[in-house]
Structure 1
Amino acid sequence: MVRPAALLDDPSANAAAMLRRLGFATLFFGIPLAALFTRRALVVLAPVAVILLVLAAALDGGARNVGEKLVAVVISTAGIAGMVLLLWTGLSLIWTPFMPHAAERLFNLVGMALMALAGYLAMPDRMRSANLYILPVGVGLAALTGIAVALRGPEGLDQDGQSLERGMIMLVLLLWPAVTWLHSRGRNLEALLLAIIVALGALLTTDPVSLQGLAVGAVIFAITAASPGFGARLTAWSMAGLLLLAPALPFIVKPLAVSLFGPASPTVASLDAWALVILDEPLRLITGHGLETALRGRFLGLIPPTSPYSFLFEIWYELGLIGAAAGAVLLYSSVIGAGGHRPVLGPGIMAAFATAYALGCFGIGTAQLWWFSALIVVVLDFVAIERGQFRTKRPKAILRRAG
């Protein structure tokens, strides 16, 4: 007796599949497009996507061994360094002069960390290729849209004109998981075409930061593709080393900056301001001045207005040596740990690390919520791509003679 199909359907499984598809559509397709037109798209859509994935996992149990994965993250070197960094950031509230604003920022940081962890734990153990192909389609369509908007002018965007630049920064970051997925499926021509489209969009924007970050990522991608081990070590040591040695940069780089840009250039002025901050209070290099002081202190005259808008300056000024050391360990262990699981994914992962780090060094406002949301989206994209590598080739049909 054949049972009716309606009796074989599992309503909860069907609902979970629908929620998961909506979550990935939001993550892979909605966010790249919406980020071009509104500054709040990332902050709103990223939590929505994670919530949809969590609901889907709760309905069908697609995410297995959640407890083991959680313990593995917490006890890893990167997890311990991240908790130390958050703890030190919380302690810095004691001596920051902007306690209410710093507490709000710390609350947002903890919320972002929990959201990233929830999205990671809710990711299914195996990803369908149909869901993952949405990513390069979304990035490509968003890049073409960004090119059209850049050519016509940003009249339809936010009044401050920053949405297009932020959208292109988001596309530069999302390019690497999209290229990685296409490369892992042997679609290298499509990956190259997608990279060209995104690079053209970044070239047409008024802010050169996105193109500069893309260039750094492309160099690391090429190096890692040629030598995976060397590329991963180079990325890890460069990121951690620059962060640890950042206070020496204004003294080392200034002669080169003077010769390249001239003594009256903004770059030289920012290096002079950084050196002045270090020489005025050298002991504060150990503890820092507390959370939220780099941004607000600039407007209240606590630091020179020409001080650099850079991740390297901000973490040292706010959290000092302890925060910088914890951040360096976090970066090094994350890069080394991410590069060894799937060799085919290594070049794209290293390029994403390098691009995000370069953008932070070039000063795009890494303390803002949209930046943390962007990083979470990129991390979840790579986790999904890694879960989609369980089969890289279709099984071949074998014909046998009868008899």
Structure 2
Amino acid sequence: MNVATARLGARALNRALLSRQYLLRRLDLPEREVVEHLVGMHAQIPVGPYIGLWSRLAGYRPDRLSTMVTNRELVRTALMRSTIHLVTPDDCMTLRPLVQQVLDRDLYTNSSHAAVVKGLDLDEVVAAGLALLDEQPRTPADLGRALHERWPDRKPDTLAYAVRNLSALVQIPPRGTWGGTSRTIHASATTWLDRPVDPAPSVETMIRRYLAAFGPASVNDVQAWCGLTKLNEVVGRIRSSLRVYLDDNGKELFDVPEGELPDADAPAPPRYLPEFDNVLLSHANRERIIPDGLSFAEWCRRYGLMMTVRGGVLRGNLLIGGLLNGIWRIDKEKKSYTLVVEPFTKVSKKDLTALEKDGHALLEFAFPKAESRAVQVLPSR
């Protein structure tokens, strides 16, 4: 049985996380390889993966990801924590059955839907829903209305939500393309990707992949990321193949043997992140990435934010000193765009220069045809 070999403080865990998330320095890697390494990218807001990849890759342009989504090389689907993720087709069909109990729980405990699905033959609803989607992809509203004709005593939105949660669906283009519509249109994943769901996926492999991208991490951290529970036994089965550390509180942290542990004093340049990025959402103990170990929701409440900043044509969160220490938004006036940066901590002269330089690059990335662009860094709160 492996025993802990060393203690890792929050700073060491921060640099390990940033390194494995490709946020210490930009890399020259294929988009698909990055999305796969990260075990998918949070995509509840369609523009999120574009900003996330721009923050991680050198010379990145949005049209490449748009093409991959259009060509079905990457897909948007409900996975970890029942939220929309951008993943490879392989991961769509492998991860979905592993997190099915998370989507079950979401449906059966959801305040809008739990009471409505009681006593309903959900297998029959799903079969009918998939048949309708195979006729043609449909919006949730269209799918719900069609199912409501057969089950007139049930709410249309609940019928559509049941199909979404109990079967593998994907959100198809133009949603998820750069500048594409925000309208959600669902298709069956097996039909869209022309492949079956993995009949024998490995939760052990999923955990190892999580550790490679987010570790070292505790069992609670793994569970916070994927939404599954009772993973102690699974981790116990693979414990002998993992490294084991302790955090500052003496809690066990697990890691893959090849997991990189950079110097805790490695420089961490500022990074513009999308509104939601899994680097902020994937640990039970978030001390390594959010000041004071707050949850993302708690952090938003601390600064009076409604799940990040309001307004702007684009907006997101800001890493300063390796931690979530600010927000940003892009305001538009005619064909002029201003990036407004609001730090919540004191910014060094070096970081201020980096924020301004990267900010101009972000504006050029997002709005290459703008007549003028400006970066405004506000005084720290």
* Normalised TM-score (structure 2): 0.29
* Normalised TM-score (structure 1): 0.28
Please identify the structure whose Cα radius of gyration is greater: 1
- Give the number of the structure with larger relative contact order, counting CA–CA contacts within 8 Å between residues 6 or more apart: 1
